[in-house]
Amino acid sequence: MNRPNDDEPILDEAAIQAAMDAHLEMYKGLGTFERFAMFMGVAQLLELGLKNLLIRRFGVDPDSLEIATLGQVRGRLQDNGVRPDFIALLKNVVARRNHMAHRFMADAALTQAMFGKEARFETAELDKGILELANLAVIFEWTEANDAWGVE
């Protein structure tokens, strides 16, 4: 959708909601560990998309990105002048992904070891991470489609 008297594309509330719903649909009906795996997989796909952006848009050598982490990719994007609002969202997702990768499974295993297989543990961090990642994915897709990275 465009602003009145402006040809610049915008992402309006209805478009955001529809895109978020589509991203969150893949998590419906999944158990906790399946949702965790889906979250980590989507984060990995986002990382690959961002590496591709660095290669395609900024001429970064693909070999230099082969073992780069999502946090390192964020730094490279920031260094190349990608829009600061996107970088801020990405920074949050990097922190959440790192927490999930290093603590979530350990906490789950400890909870089950202490209280048995039927124990439930807090999944609020996972739920928040899923929402943050879906939000970033929506913004990434829109920004790619509209070439709105904020760099010359």
> Is there a domain that residue 24 lies in?
no
Q: Is the pLDDT of residue 3 over 50?
A: no
Compute the mean pLDDT over every residue in the chain, rounded to the nearest whole number: 88
> Is there a domain that residue 11 lies in?
no
Report yes or no: 91 and 135 within 8 Å, Cβ to Cβ. no
Cα gap 13→15, rounded to integer Å? 5
First to last CA, the chain: 23
> Is there a domain that residue 129 lies in?
yes
> Is there a domain that residue 150 lies in?
no
2 bridge partner residues: 9
- Write the single-letter amino acid at 66: E
Split into its structural domains, the chain has a count of 1
Residues 41-70: what's their mean pLDDT?
A: 96
Helix (H, G, I), strand (E, B) or coil at 2: strand
> Is there a domain that residue 104 lies in?
yes
Q: Which domain covers residue 133, as residue numbers?
A: 31-145
pLDDT, one tens digit per residue, over 95-122 is 999 988 888 878 777 777 787 766 666 7
Q: Is the pLDDT of residue 5 over 60?
A: no
* pTM, rounded to two decimals: 0.84
More confident residue, 39 or 115: 39
pLDDT, one tens digit per residue, over 61-91 is 999 999 999 999 999 999 999 999 999 999 9
> Is there a domain that residue 87 lies in?
yes
Query: Exposed, middle or buried: residue 61 (CB in 10 Å: 0-12, 13-18, 19+)?
Result: exposed
